[in-house]
């Protein structure tokens, strides 16, 4: 017997795994998921594009206001430079006024108020001041007063640097001048 191949006969074809029912369902689900992901990316792209356009418009507006307000920017830079100078000055400031007022108040307690002619103070609180008297007796009493605790509590050190006789040129009166040199104790000028 000869075996022949019958080409006209319909053979039953076996379904491959590509054409099964489950494969069609899975490909439909994957297609829907990919479509949703694609649409999400498209929506995200449009949203980001609108934000970029909005930020570019805001940038244009800010640049325009910066160009229009150049003089204000220059004034702000000037003010910032002056502020830095003030901070530098305050760092080296001797805080003269509280110590001057303290010395004036202390001198007011003496027997006869002396005349404070001059005073210098540096940032280390080292001071030099000159006190003048018209008569000898108040000057002598003042020398006793400066040795008291109420006067010396405000100084860490104090010494009489010079005692001299002076002549006033306007009315030719004689006077006594005491020059002191010392160092103030640090006081709290801004009590909280």
What is the pLDDT, as a whole number, of residue 66?
Answer: 84
What is the pLDDT, as a whole number, of residue 182?
Answer: 92
- Taking only the tens place, the pLDDT of each residue in 55-68 is 999 999 999 988 88
Residue, of 124 and 37, whose pLDDT is higher = 37
- Taking only the tens place, the pLDDT of each residue in 132-174 is 888 888 888 888 888 888 888 888 898 988 888 877 666 667 7
What is the pLDDT, as a whole number, of residue 145?
Answer: 86
**pTM of this structure:** 0.52
- Taking only the tens place, the pLDDT of each residue in 95-126 is 888 888 888 888 887 767 788 889 998 888 88
Q: Are 94 and 123 in contact (CB under 8 A)?
A: yes
pLDDT of 38 above 70: yes
């Amino acid at each position: 017997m000869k075996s022949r191949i019958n080409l006209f006969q319909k053979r039953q074809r076996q379904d491959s795994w590509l054409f099964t029912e489950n494969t069609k369902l899975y490909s439909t689900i994957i297609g829907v998921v990919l479509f949703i992901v694609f649409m999400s990316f498209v929506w995200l792209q449009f949203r980001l594009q609108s934000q970029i356009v909005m930020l570019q418009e805001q940038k244009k507006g800010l640049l325009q206001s910066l160009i229009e307000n150049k003089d204000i920017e220059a004034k702000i830079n000037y003010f910032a430079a002056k502020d830095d100078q003030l901070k530098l000055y305050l760092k080296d400031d001797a805080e003269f006024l509280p110590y001057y007022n303290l010395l004036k108040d202390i001198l007011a307690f003496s027997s006869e108020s002396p005349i404070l002619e001059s005073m210098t103070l540096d940032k280390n609180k080292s001071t030099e001041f000159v006190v003048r008297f018209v008569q000898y007796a108040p000057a002598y009493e003042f020398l006793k007063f400066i040795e008291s605790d109420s006067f010396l509590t405000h100084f860490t050190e104090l010494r009489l640097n010079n005692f001299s006789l002076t002549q006033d040129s306007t009315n030719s009166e004689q006077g006594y001048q005491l020059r002191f040199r010392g160092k103030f104790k640090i006081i709290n000028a801004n009590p909280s």
